[in-house]
Structure 1
Amino acid sequence: MPGIEIETVDEPLKHRDFIELAWQINAHDPDWVPPLRRDLGKLLHRAKYPFFRYGDAQFFVARRRGRPVGRIAAIENRLHLETYGDKRGFFGFFECEDDVKAACALFKAAAQWLRERRLTRVLGPLNYSINDQCPGVLVEGFNGPPVILMSHNPRYYGRLLSDCGLTKAKDMYAYLITEQVLKAERFARVMNAIKRRAPELEQREVRVRGPGFKQDVELMLKMFNLAWKDNWGFTPVTPEEVAAIASDLGEIVRPELTSIASIKGEPVAFAVCIPNMNEVLRLIPDGRLTTALFKLGPGGFLDLALGRSEIRGFRTMLMGVLPEHRNKGIDAVMISKIIESGFALNQKYCELSWVLEDNLPMNSLAEKVGGLRYRTYRLFEADLARFT
């Protein structure tokens, strides 16, 4: 495309412009939370990140007169292709200035790479799969910083993708539950009605320390894949991916914000919420842990590393109910217990995210208990032939 040069990036982890584009595009936004460069490095490490055992990706940088103005990753997820056989590729790690020519040039390069693998459609932004962090483009709810592992982007991204010929594939919602909601009569009334019809549950916390942690992680992996297997776009989570998640989040998970539910001794559901570490990560504008050590001091840095900082909120990150036990109110009973435990720990809000727009039971539950649908994230798709 005239005036735009596309550079193929084989080692994004070592490519300064590919990394720095996230800061170049977003650093002026007071609500943007920079990723830790350490964590970004894990995602981009071809030899170590679990995705690359069953998938591949090619990275690109767009330049205008030599200056970097955008980036993208074209993604072939073979586990998705084995599951659906839909010849669909993904795009992710998208950042771009408000420059439709640069954005279109990026999509043209990504489309060519995907077509070489006999794929015909593209969906995203997804950083490898729908199970990975920060899916979708924020299109509604520019009302503050994102909660941990959720997206945030410039307001023009939705328009920019539309101008490149992509259309809406699916929306995902985030709901906010505040301390005021928990104390309201409506919350108690709805939860009491649900509990009366729910089966008698035995709930326990996830064992986040010691050998029991590995056993609980394996149990939740099994339940998660069974519970989500019929959901739109879902691909099974591999043991290696779960091990990576557990390694990253194991030190910040608070057992009080977790639940494994059983009926007559048989596990049927689980839920894991995590503290909103973004409240702390906002204090590290360059994403470097050395900066955190300097700004927070040794004690504050330790709090950051162990998730003990004074964080005001948390997010429901993982939840699953086995198919044969759905529509019995089990999910509501678990979430109610976790939310009550969270507010007992002086938490002030909980985000329920993300929820697919056509997941009617979960949307209905969130609204019944007084949750405010306050953010919308959108996945876009297109036929690759559009970018020839």
Structure 2
Amino acid sequence: MSVEIIPVRSKKEFKRFLDLEWEINRNTPNWVSPLRMERAKLLDTKKNPFYQHAEIEMFLAKKDGKFVGRIAAITNENHNKFHGDRWGFWGFFECINDQHVANALFKAAAEWLKARQRDNMVGPMNPSTNDECGLLIEGFDTPPFVMMTHNPDYYPQLVTNFGNTKIKDLYAWYLPTETALANITDKLERIANKIQARHSFRFRTAQLKHLDREIKLIKEIYNDAWSKNWGFVPFTDAEIDYLAAQLKQIVDEDLLLLAFKGDEPIAFSLTIPNINEILAKIPDGRLFPTGIFKLLFGLKKIKTARVITLGVRREYQHMGLGSIFYIETIKRAAKKGITAGELSWILEDNAPMNSAIQAFGSELYKRYRIYQYPLK
């Protein structure tokens, strides 16, 4: 039977698009269900401020009368303006193990992007590098941490068989707290203290009761610190406010650290509890009627965390601030009973950051891949 590709137009089709994530992955080893309401918000073009400068077209694949796959084609004008290119993106890919279905989905996304004068199709982006991105290619034997992707192990073959090729890999490092503490040597602490004293750096934790002020500082640091990174797109005010509203529910202010040089904010790090420990117990992704209780009562029992971002203004990136943040975060996490953490994601060619992480005894245990497909 031929594969039918259907653009999502109705509420019923949108629901089918959402449902496919659960239908395809419910038997995928170590997959953790996201919350359905959060997935719906992520794709809501009226509520998610990403779509103020972006466009998305969602496609469903149907074969033998059944929905068997999905993909989204995405344009991101802020990316194109910042990088001076004409890239388009694909994301939210789910598919049965059928190359014909996968090819039909990628072809639909490619044609939609070509019609909008894009010359390269890059992904997966769900929907951008400021959200979940990358296809898991190594590390299928363990569940993902919060806000990291996970997929069936046959996906890489489906993706590459269509003609997608690697453009960049992303690293995820695993670090047991006990190992990290053992690698904080007296020498390393002396060096960190000297760096802090020499440059008069001042550190403090964030204050969530003054969230608007803190978010303004973090946005200024982030958009400067990451501006030279591959794939970076600056946050708009609306986007970072939207993200902050989501993370506020789980952020531990003791693990959101800021650094200053005088009164100038120069660096920050954000570590969040790995709520996937709880979401793994809500396999259908629905908070009601019982999922909400698992979430509320499980928050204080979480034993792992993810270092989600560490940003240092470019002017100060050569001064070793990263190690100071890691030392402080590790000590604080240990006091809170955190037994292990993930540091992710890190670009494969970010040698300084990967070396610093490895120095604490971290294991490179997952690898994610971003692909490209020329549309010329």
Indicate the TM-score class for this superposition, using the shorter chain for normalisation: over 0.9
For structure 1, the 5+ residue unaligned runs are: none
2: CA distance between counterparts of 1:86 and 1:168? 18
- Whether 2:336 is the aligned partner of 1:318: answer no
**CA deviation after TM superposition for structure 1 residue 10, in Å:** 2.8
Q: Secondary structure at the match of 1:215?
A: helix
Give per-residue Cα distances to partners, 1:307-336, cap 9 Å, x unaligned: x33001111112210111111111210121
Look up the match of 2:66.
67
- Whether 2:170 is the aligned partner of 1:172: answer yes
CA RMSD of aligned residues (A): 1.7
For structure 2, the 5+ residue unaligned runs are: none
**CA deviation after TM superposition for structure 1 residue 65, in Å:** 1.5
1: CA distance between counterparts of 2:89 and 2:158? 17
Q: Secondary structure at the match of 2:91?
A: strand
Q: Partner letter of residue 202 of structure 2?
A: E
Question: Identity over the aligned pairs, expressed in percent?
Answer: 37
CA spacing shift, 1:91–1:196, aligned 2, 3 Å: same
Look up the match of 1:104.
103
Q: Secondary structure at the match of 1:153?
A: coil
Q: Partner letter of residue 120 of structure 1?
A: D
Matches within 5 A, 1:116-127: 116-127=115-126
CA spacing shift, 1:153–1:193, aligned 2, 3 Å: same
**CA deviation after TM superposition for structure 1 residue 127, in Å:** 1.2
- Whether 2:352 is the aligned partner of 1:361: answer yes
Give per-residue Cα distances to partners, 1:30-81, cap 9 Å, x unaligned: 4111110110111111111111100101000111122111100000101111
1:181, 1:187 within 8 Å by CA — same for their partners in 2?
no
Give per-residue Cα distances to partners, 1:250-276, cap 9 Å, x unaligned: 021111111001123322101111000
Look up the match of 1:183.
181
- Whether 2:203 is the aligned partner of 1:203: answer yes
Single out whichever of 343-352 and 187-196 deviates more from structure 2: 187-196
Match of 1:135 among 133, 149, 166: 133
**CA deviation after TM superposition for structure 1 residue 13, in Å:** 7.9
CA spacing shift, 1:320–1:185, aligned 2, 3 Å: closer
Look up the match of 1:219.
217
2: CA distance between counterparts of 1:170 and 1:145? 22
What TM-score comes out, normalization by structure 2 length?
0.95
Match of 1:339 among 317, 330, 333: 330
- Whether 2:367 is the aligned partner of 1:373: answer no
2: CA distance between counterparts of 1:179 and 1:231? 28
CA spacing shift, 1:259–1:10, aligned 2, 3 Å: same
What is the aligned length? 374
1:62, 1:70 within 8 Å by CA — same for their partners in 2?
yes
2:122, 2:372 within 8 Å by CA — same for their partners in 1?
yes
2:133, 2:149 within 8 Å by CA — same for their partners in 1?
yes
Look up the match of 1:264.
262
Give per-residue Cα distances to partners, 1:4-42, cap 9 Å, x unaligned: 110111357862321111111110124111110110111
Look up the match of 1:6.
5
Single out whichever of 276-285 and 330-339 deviates more from structure 2: 330-339
Q: Partner letter of residue 236 of structure 2?
A: T
**CA deviation after TM superposition for structure 1 residue 225, in Å:** 0.3
**CA deviation after TM superposition for structure 1 residue 292, in Å:** 3.4
1:13, 1:19 within 8 Å by CA — same for their partners in 2?
no
CA spacing shift, 1:150–1:191, aligned 2, 3 Å: farther
Look up the match of 2:157.
159
What TM-score comes out, normalization by structure 1 length?
0.92
1:190, 1:368 within 8 Å by CA — same for their partners in 2?
no
Q: Secondary structure at the match of 1:15?
A: helix
Give per-residue Cα distances to partners, 1:85-109, cap 9 Å, x unaligned: 2211000000111111111100111
**CA deviation after TM superposition for structure 1 residue 203, in Å:** 0.9
CA spacing shift, 1:350–1:187, aligned 2, 3 Å: farther
1:177, 1:370 within 8 Å by CA — same for their partners in 2?
yes
CA spacing shift, 1:118–1:106, aligned 2, 3 Å: same
Look up the match of 2:113.
114
Look up the match of 2:37.
38
Match of 1:303 among 283, 294, 297: 297
1: CA distance between counterparts of 2:363 and 2:186? 17
**CA deviation after TM superposition for structure 1 residue 200, in Å:** 3.5
Q: Partner letter of residue 303 of structure 1?
A: F
**CA deviation after TM superposition for structure 1 residue 194, in Å:** 4.2
Single out whichever of 261-270 and 139-148 deviates more from structure 2: 261-270
2: CA distance between counterparts of 1:11 and 1:44? 14
Give per-residue Cα distances to partners, 1:128-165, cap 9 Å, x unaligned: 21111x21001011121100000100111111111010
**CA deviation after TM superposition for structure 1 residue 195, in Å:** 3.9
1: CA distance between counterparts of 2:185 and 2:57? 48
CA spacing shift, 1:11–1:201, aligned 2, 3 Å: farther
Q: Partner letter of residue 181 of structure 1?
A: T
Q: Secondary structure at the match of 1:289?
A: coil
Give per-residue Cα distances to partners, 1:206-231, cap 9 Å, x unaligned: 111x2x11100111011100111111
1:190, 1:369 within 8 Å by CA — same for their partners in 2?
no
**CA deviation after TM superposition for structure 1 residue 187, in Å:** 5.0
1: CA distance between counterparts of 2:70 and 2:183? 49
Q: Secondary structure at the match of 2:133?
A: coil
1:12, 1:44 within 8 Å by CA — same for their partners in 2?
no
Q: Partner letter of residue 339 of structure 2?
A: K
Q: Secondary structure at the match of 2:173?
A: strand
